[in-house]
Amino acid sequence: MYSPTGTPSYKAPEILLEIGYTHEVDMWAVGIICYQILSGNHPFKKKQEFSLEEINFNIKNTKYDFKDYVWND
């Protein structure tokens, strides 16, 4: 698939990069939901006020790290 469909802040990087994708992007979205449940925060919304462009940039460029105070409890 190549069409960029889906909820904007839950899109996998391959959708945003338009390189083709499979059902695995659904697991990406589930991962975001799990992250939100566990941490209370969306992983790619770095501040209260955000734009879709900022979220897309963060999804494509974030280095993943779970060494934050949120995960120490």
Asked whether residue 32 is domain-assigned, the answer is yes
Instruction: Give which of 17, 9, 10, 4 is closest to 54, Cα–Cα.
Output: 9
Q: What's the domain range around 60? A: 8-71
The first and second tokens of residue 53, run together, are 């462009």
pTM for this one? Answer: 0.71
**Total domain count, the chain:** 1
Asked whether residue 52 is domain-assigned, the answer is yes
What was the pLDDT predicted at 17? 87
Asked whether residue 2 is domain-assigned, the answer is no
Q: pLDDT by residue (tens digit) across 5-57?
A: 778 889 999 888 888 899 999 999 999 999 899 888 888 877 777 788 888 89
**22 to 35, 69, 72, 73: CA distances (angstroms):** 21, 34, 34, 35
Asked whether residue 23 is domain-assigned, the answer is yes
The Cα–Cα gap between 46 and 58 comes to: 8
Which distant-in-sequence residues (6+ apart) come within 8 Å of 71 by Cβ? Answer: 39
Asked whether residue 3 is domain-assigned, the answer is no
Asked whether residue 1 is domain-assigned, the answer is no
